[in-house]
Structure 1
Amino acid sequence: MQASSDFSAAMAVLASALGCGLLMGIERERRKGDGPFRSLAGVRSFALAALSGAAAALIGSTALVAVVGVFIAALAVTAYARDRSGDPGVTTEIALLLAYLIGVLCARDQLLAAALAVAATGLLAARDSLHQFSRDWLQPGEVRSGLILAALLLLVAPLVPNEALWQGLLNPHVVMRLLLVLLVIQSLAHVGRRLLQARQAMALSALASGFVSSTATIASLGMEAREGTVAVRAQAGAAVLSCVATMAQIVVVAAAVQPAWLVRLWAPALAGAVVAGAWGWWRVRGATGGLEDGTTRPQLPPDTAMFKLRDAALIAALLTAVQVGVQLLTRWQGDAGMLAGALLAALADVHAATAALLVQGGPASPMAPAVAQALMAALLVHAGSKSAVALASGGWRYALAVAPGIVAHTLAFVGVMAFWG
């Protein structure tokens, strides 16, 4: 009975390896070519390499696995050395060695091996698309920006200490995370302008980035409007659309810190979101093709970077300074300072102000009227802060186009909440 079970398990491993090898081999066979310039391996070679790996792993000898692996690698090196084609490459040689390793992996984890085979085959089949993307579509400025963003995300961010310094006033990791958020927002907007029609790119990227930071989105769109390469009206519409996320996140914060407030907040938040969405989409649709010159797709200058590191760093520093000021005021004045600090926090992030206020008590507590009034005041302060950010980042034309929508959706929230109360 045990022998039958072992035989079935071994056959499953070999069948899995054969399937992975055939999958990769069929793709290589279609590109192998004919005659003296044909490539090293095709469907049979890949299937046999994968079966060899599975068989070596089933035997259980580490030395045998290593020896067969060296043999496969030697075959690949020999084939590359004897290649007489005008454009030699090592893709097939590397893929053959990978097929052998996938066969070895089948003895340990067949699902992982199959996933790796599918991923490898996808990369092999997408050769032309990947070459066109890297050679023709990507611009040098985008490559440089991508390298900077990857270095900050993978190398710098993990090294930044994630602990509060100066008696808890400042966390460097939070500052770095805010900077990365700003850079990602600018990068997404840049990619959206290249992939989508102008109106679609602005609307979708604004809504998505608004869930990260509506204030930062307004600032990023303002910096682009100041350059004069995009329509101010369309940028302003996208900025107001990002405020839909602000209304949604107020409900999310309430659900997290004080669910009882949902009864009071869902209707004001819905009213504010509807006004922001309608106003923003009207502005975006009203722009001529989304651009000043009437074209339907943004015409970016050649070699354009995906983001501006200096501008993002300045915005991150400003928001961090506001947060430090809130903490100092809270320590100085206690509970009264906390409420005042929440209003100051609304200058940068209304969600932090919302959480600080709602934890004071539920809608049936004695603190409820004061909390509701402070929340409405915080929203009004936040509207003024966003308008000021629009003026500082995009100039007076951008601010005049953005501010009415921000004020309108804020007044909708405040009006419904006052009536609802």
Structure 2
Amino acid sequence: MLWLPPPLSGFAVAVALGLLIGIERERSKGAGPSRGPAGVRTFTVTALLGAVAFHIGGLLLLAIVTGCVASLVAVSYLRTPVGDPGLTTEVALAFMPVLGALAVTDEALAATVGVVIAILLAAKAPIHSFATAILSRTEVNDMLVFAAATLVVFPQLPNRYMGPFESLNPRSIWLLVILVLAVGALGHIAQRALGARFGLPLAGLASGFASSAAAIGAMAGVAAKDPALMRPAAAGAVLSTVATFTVMGAVVAAVSLPTLRALAPALIAGGCAAVIYGAIFTMRALHDGEAQNHQPAAAFSIKAAVLLAATMSVMLVAAAGLKNWLGETGILIGVVAAGLVDSQSAAISVASLAAAGKLAPADAALPIVLAMTSNTATKIVLALTLGTRPFAERVVPGLVFAIAATWAGLLA
């Protein structure tokens, strides 16, 4: 409300939010003696009351006003016919003084909260339908697992390196678990929306832009948990490598365009190989009758995610031990070790040296391809350890084909 000075701007936001939420409640409260207890006027006045109370008397007066409103809401609820036991309107009304006070101190935050409340109130039917008719019990359990992994476990983990050779960061490792769970959830949503034949390949391609290794690990878990989805899961795993070449080109271009020009033949050759191989398996997946009518069960496999994190931890320790025993023998060993976990970060380091004039762009291409090669080795290990044998037999040749084409492009 830039055209009004404080506190008038805050009062105006409080009135606007009261009108917005009140209009939504007015449309759903009904008519006659059995109508709901509050509508547009009540919500607007209550929001403005909270704003004025906080402006005049601070938190103490706001607490008194909020308590009075909550008491009136409780009395009104007790006098409401038993036919509607819901508390949504009552809770929203009791919250309005707080929202009005928030508008006085932080108009943008108050507007955001108020709009979210209005959307939640208006979306009663689709939200109830989604929770009771669309979501299954297994999916609800998976949501709880993902919430616990993200909001409970992750913040508690230390964000420092420890363990053998100071090579393990618990928070970074658990972030990989979260990524795998997120990829599995994305694939599950895509299956529900598009079917397994279309959904899993699309989810694999999209997930590869975040982490191709995580995408392959998640798809391996899908194939191991449900053999009927092996073909589309393999297609998704292979297509995730297409994103690897795309992201690598974008990352190198952002740091050093001369390095990208030197690396372009390798990236184009490897990317084309990945596209061709992925297209073959995608076409096979689209004609997979077994997966056509398949209904997805669990959204992800927590066992596969933890196993992937454990595998990556072992490789981190091995890479750190290699550097500790052999010493720093130059850029090549460093980028190979870094590429086991993340080829993009290794490429950024090398391209930065080229951008600073400490390394010729033509000489920077080799270390970057070496990092991509070691990262491919990581993906192969994940496909072999987390997936079934048929899954690995389809994915590993594609990974080898793509990296071989990359080397051919570099050497040519």
Gapped regions of structure 2 (runs ≥ 5): none
Judged with a 3 Å threshold, the aligned counterparts in structure 2 of structure 1 residues 168 and 355 are, in CA distance, closer, same or farther, namely farther
Q: Could you tell which deviates more after superposition, 309-318 or 343-352?
A: 343-352
* Match runs of 1:297-376 below 5 Å: 298-300=294-296, 304-336=297-329, 339-340=332-333, 342-343=335-336, 346=339, 349-351=342-344, 354=347, 372-373=365-366, 375-376=368-369
Superposed displacement of residue 85, structure 1: 3.0
Query: Which residue in 1 is equivalent to 2:86?
Result: 89
Q: Take 2:156 and 2:234, find their aligned partners in 1: how far apart are those partners?
A: 37
Query: Which residue in 1 is equivalent to 2:180?
Result: 182
Judged with a 3 Å threshold, the aligned counterparts in structure 2 of structure 1 residues 387 and 75 are, in CA distance, closer, same or farther, namely same
* Match runs of 1:4-403 below 5 Å: 9=6, 11-60=8-57, 62-166=59-163, 167-255=165-253, 260-288=258-286, 292-295=290-293, 298-300=294-296, 304-336=297-329, 339-340=332-333, 342-343=335-336, 346=339, 349-351=342-344, 354=347, 372-373=365-366, 375-376=368-369, 379-380=372-373, 382-383=375-376, 385-403=378-396
Q: Take 1:79 and 1:395, find their aligned partners in 2: how far apart are those partners?
A: 61
Superposed displacement of residue 318, structure 1: 1.0
Superposed displacement of residue 78, structure 1: 0.4
Judged with a 3 Å threshold, the aligned counterparts in structure 2 of structure 1 residues 97 and 339 are, in CA distance, closer, same or farther, namely same
Matched position secondary structure for 1:292: helix
Judged with a 3 Å threshold, the aligned counterparts in structure 2 of structure 1 residues 86 and 408 are, in CA distance, closer, same or farther, namely same
Q: Take 1:168 and 1:320, find their aligned partners in 2: how far apart are those partners?
A: 12
Q: Output one character per residue of 1:24-59: Cα deviation in whole Å (capped at 9) or x when no partner.
A: 111111111223322110111112212222332343
Q: Take 2:367 and 2:89, find their aligned partners in 1: how far apart are those partners?
A: 66
User: How many percent identity over aligned positions?
Assistant: 34
Amino acid in structure 1 at the alignment position of 2:159 = N
Judged with a 3 Å threshold, the aligned counterparts in structure 2 of structure 1 residues 83 and 289 are, in CA distance, closer, same or farther, namely farther
The answer to whether the 8 Å contact 1:17/1:102 transfers is yes
Give the RMSD, CA atoms, in angstroms: 3.2
Q: Take 1:376 and 1:101, find their aligned partners in 2: how far apart are those partners?
A: 57
Q: Output one character per residue of 1:324-347: Cα deviation in whole Å (capped at 9) or x when no partner.
A: 111111121123386346446555
Q: Could you tell which deviates more after superposition, 337-346 or 316-325?
A: 337-346
Judged with a 3 Å threshold, the aligned counterparts in structure 2 of structure 1 residues 102 and 193 are, in CA distance, closer, same or farther, namely same
Judged with a 3 Å threshold, the aligned counterparts in structure 2 of structure 1 residues 52 and 181 are, in CA distance, closer, same or farther, namely same
Q: Output one character per residue of 1:176-235: Cα deviation in whole Å (capped at 9) or x when no partner.
A: 222222222222222221233334422332123213332232232123223445343322
Q: Output one character per residue of 1:39-92: Cα deviation in whole Å (capped at 9) or x when no partner.
A: 110111112212222332343455443332222111101011112132311111
Judged with a 3 Å threshold, the aligned counterparts in structure 2 of structure 1 residues 278 and 68 are, in CA distance, closer, same or farther, namely same
Q: Output one character per residue of 1:345-386: Cα deviation in whole Å (capped at 9) or x when no partner.
A: 555544455467667767987887876555545545554553
Amino acid in structure 2 at the alignment position of 1:299 = Q
Superposed displacement of residue 238, structure 1: 1.4
Q: Could you tell which deviates more after superposition, 389-398 or 206-215?
A: 389-398
Q: Take 1:61 and 1:377, find their aligned partners in 2: how far apart are those partners?
A: 63
Superposed displacement of residue 127, structure 1: 0.8
Q: Take 1:327 and 1:407, find their aligned partners in 2: how far apart are those partners?
A: 25
Q: Take 2:332 and 2:64, find their aligned partners in 1: how far apart are those partners?
A: 71
Q: Take 2:210 and 2:199, find their aligned partners in 1: how far apart are those partners?
A: 17
The answer to whether the 8 Å contact 1:164/1:172 transfers is yes
Q: Take 1:211 and 1:407, find their aligned partners in 2: how far apart are those partners?
A: 20
Judged with a 3 Å threshold, the aligned counterparts in structure 2 of structure 1 residues 238 and 79 are, in CA distance, closer, same or farther, namely same
Q: Take 1:265 and 1:52, find their aligned partners in 2: how far apart are those partners?
A: 65
Judged with a 3 Å threshold, the aligned counterparts in structure 2 of structure 1 residues 345 and 38 are, in CA distance, closer, same or farther, namely same
Amino acid in structure 1 at the alignment position of 2:41 = R
Matched position secondary structure for 1:89: coil
User: Taking structure 1 as the reference length, what is the TM-score of the superposition?
Assistant: 0.85
Q: Take 2:83 and 2:245, find their aligned partners in 1: how far apart are those partners?
A: 61
Alignment counterpart, residue 410 of structure 1, candidates 403, 408, 411:
403
Q: Could you tell which deviates more after superposition, 245-254 or 70-79?
A: 245-254
Superposed displacement of residue 243, structure 1: 0.3
Judged with a 3 Å threshold, the aligned counterparts in structure 2 of structure 1 residues 261 and 107 are, in CA distance, closer, same or farther, namely same
Q: Take 2:329 and 2:6, find their aligned partners in 1: how far apart are those partners?
A: 70
The answer to whether the 8 Å contact 1:231/1:290 transfers is no
Q: Take 1:40 and 1:216, find their aligned partners in 2: how far apart are those partners?
A: 51
Q: Take 2:63 and 2:8, find their aligned partners in 1: how far apart are those partners?
A: 22
Query: Which residue in 2 is equivalent to 1:3?
Result: none
Judged with a 3 Å threshold, the aligned counterparts in structure 2 of structure 1 residues 55 and 386 are, in CA distance, closer, same or farther, namely closer
The answer to whether the 8 Å contact 1:331/1:337 transfers is no
Gapped regions of structure 1 (runs ≥ 5): 1-5
Superposed displacement of residue 257, structure 1: 6.7
The answer to whether the 8 Å contact 2:223/2:387 transfers is yes
Judged with a 3 Å threshold, the aligned counterparts in structure 2 of structure 1 residues 392 and 51 are, in CA distance, closer, same or farther, namely closer
